[in-house]
Structure 1
Amino acid sequence: MGVANFDAFYRKNASFYGDRPALSLRYFLDKFEVRGGGRGLDLACGQGRNAFYLASKGYSMFGIDESSEAIAKLGELADTQRLDVSGKVVNLTELEIESQQYDIIIAYTALDHVSADEGERLAREMMKGLAPGGYLFAAVFMVDDPGCCGKGGGVSETAAYIRHYYQPGELREQFRQLEPLAYQEEFALDISHSWPHHHSMARLFARKPLH
């Protein structure tokens, strides 16, 4: 995943991906009237922009990332903002999630930073870790993204760290055991970091059945 380079990105910028949470995450939480509360897990959390938003909604958030710089910054921000957010440096390929422990699990561009096989294993861990009725939010880059195989101009500076670009419908199929609440695929402008550039992304918001 290029941890050393991600450390450098985070070291140079106190808020590499910005301070605001992913707009799609906010939208889904509002649309489906998710009240918050309980435990939450943020995979590849970075400096915590999504984790802190979920904490502000009442979740006790735990973030994991392979970058020690990111986790250090997350800890500093948690102290400053006095929100219930903590984190740990963990390799995603080695992650095991406790069964039925989390009320929400998010993976915003995490599954695509590992190989296809490792992503399948990680998806199973996420589904295992959700409590009945818990929510899952995942977003991945797709095969027509400009970063795939170096295609197109204005590619993000972190495009080289994507290990698996998803096919249409693949993310939804990966979590077929869950109840899909919303699924979207789009090609959109990203101005959250570096220069303006475009991404092709798939996003899924789903819920674990109660039974």
Structure 2
Amino acid sequence: MNQWDEKFKSATYFYGTKPNAFVEQQVNVFGQSKQIACYAEGEGRNAVFLAAKGHDVTAFDYAQEGLQKTAALAKSQDVQVKTELKDLIQDTLEENVYDGAVMIFGHFAKADQSEVLDKIVGSLKAGGIFLMEVYEDAQLRYQTGGPKDIDYLYNESALKNWASQHEILHFACVEVERVEGIGHNGRSKVLQLIVKKRM
């Protein structure tokens, strides 16, 4: 059992059951897109929200416990969400499948970040939209959630450099208030990104 299974095995939803605020604010960017993948989705709060908006959603996570809670949350909201166990570092992703992708607070070592992001964009069809919110390096000072090791946070200039190969619809490094279960609580420094895969 990995650390995320341990974190998610409690009946309590560690990051709550409401969607991330950035996803909620920007959901219209997906328009009528049907197939959306939620990567590093944890306990399913964003996947269930998107399914309730009429999208066909698949939630991917590294923790089986998280996927089980995703299925339970979907059932409680009377929506359908497919779940798939996936290690975004070790496993391949099927390419050119989804119209949209979401990753909220999916944190990996800096050496793996670009490869994971490339895989996610690779899973999109041409013109597909990828939306992400993650903690920036400066989040270490805030102590309100996220990794305690700077190697697992994202650097603003490095992420902007990675994003430049795609059509950038939104890029911001901002201070926000995030109250998401017991896992994220308070003022935070985040990077927000929406890119469109080039045709």
- State the TM-score, normalized to the length of structure 2: 0.88
Identify the residue that residue 105 of structure 1 maps to in structure 2: 101
RMSD: 2.2
For residues 193 and 134 of structure 2, the distance between their equivalents in structure 1, rounded to whole angstroms, comes to 9
Identify the residue that residue 141 of structure 1 maps to in structure 2: 135
User: Which of 75, 78, 95 is equivalent to 2:74?
Assistant: 78
Q: Specify the code of the residue in structure 1 equivalent to 2:158.
A: E
Secondary structure in structure 2 of the residue aligned to 1:58:
coil
For residues 39 and 196 of structure 1, the distance between their equivalents in structure 2, rounded to whole angstroms, comes to 31
Q: Judging changes above 3 Å, is the alpha-carbon distance between structure 1 residues 17 and 36 closer, same or farther for their aligned structure 2 residues?
A: farther
Identify the residue that residue 207 of structure 1 maps to in structure 2: 196
Q: Judging changes above 3 Å, is the alpha-carbon distance between structure 1 residues 166 and 60 closer, same or farther for their aligned structure 2 residues?
A: same
The reply on whether 1:124 has 2:118 as its aligned counterpart is yes
For residues 36 and 51 of structure 1, the distance between their equivalents in structure 2, rounded to whole angstroms, comes to 16
For residues 5 and 117 of structure 1, the distance between their equivalents in structure 2, rounded to whole angstroms, comes to 20
**Deviations, residues 105-152 of structure 1 (Å, cap 9, x unaligned):** 111111xx2222211111111121111221100122111113xxxx45
Whether the 8 Å CA contact 1:35–1:57 is kept in 2: the answer is no
User: Which of 36, 43, 52 is equivalent to 1:40?
Assistant: 36
Aligned residues between the structures: 198
> 5 Å matches for 1:181-192?
181-192=169-180
Whether the 8 Å CA contact 2:22–2:133 is kept in 1: the answer is no
Identify the residue that residue 45 of structure 2 maps to in structure 1: 49
For residues 49 and 32 of structure 2, the distance between their equivalents in structure 1, rounded to whole angstroms, comes to 11
Name which of structure 1's ranges 127-136 and 77-86 shifts more when overlaid on structure 2: 77-86
Give 1:162 deviation, angstroms.
Answer: 6.9
Secondary structure in structure 2 of the residue aligned to 1:104:
strand
Identify the residue that residue 12 of structure 1 maps to in structure 2: 10
For residues 168 and 160 of structure 1, the distance between their equivalents in structure 2, rounded to whole angstroms, comes to 17
For residues 154 and 46 of structure 2, the distance between their equivalents in structure 1, rounded to whole angstroms, comes to 22
Q: Specify the code of the residue in structure 2 equivalent to 1:203.
A: Q
Listed as ranges, the gaps of 5+ residues in structure 2 are: none
Q: Specify the code of the residue in structure 1 equivalent to 2:190.
A: M
> 5 Å matches for 1:85-96?
85-96=81-92
Give 1:163 deviation, angstroms.
Answer: 4.3
**Deviations, residues 5-29 of structure 1 (Å, cap 9, x unaligned):** 3323322243221221111112222
Give 1:87 deviation, angstroms.
Answer: 1.0
Whether the 8 Å CA contact 1:47–1:73 is kept in 2: the answer is yes
Give 1:204 deviation, angstroms.
Answer: 0.3
Q: Judging changes above 3 Å, is the alpha-carbon distance between structure 1 residues 95 and 36 closer, same or farther for their aligned structure 2 residues?
A: farther
Whether the 8 Å CA contact 1:36–1:57 is kept in 2: the answer is no
Question: Identity percentage over the alignment?
Answer: 20
Give 1:161 deviation, angstroms.
Answer: 7.0
Identify the residue that residue 26 of structure 1 maps to in structure 2: 24
Secondary structure in structure 1 of the residue aligned to 2:152:
coil
Listed as ranges, the gaps of 5+ residues in structure 1 are: none
Identify the residue that residue 187 of structure 2 maps to in structure 1: 198
Give 1:201 deviation, angstroms.
Answer: 0.8
Secondary structure in structure 1 of the residue aligned to 2:74:
helix
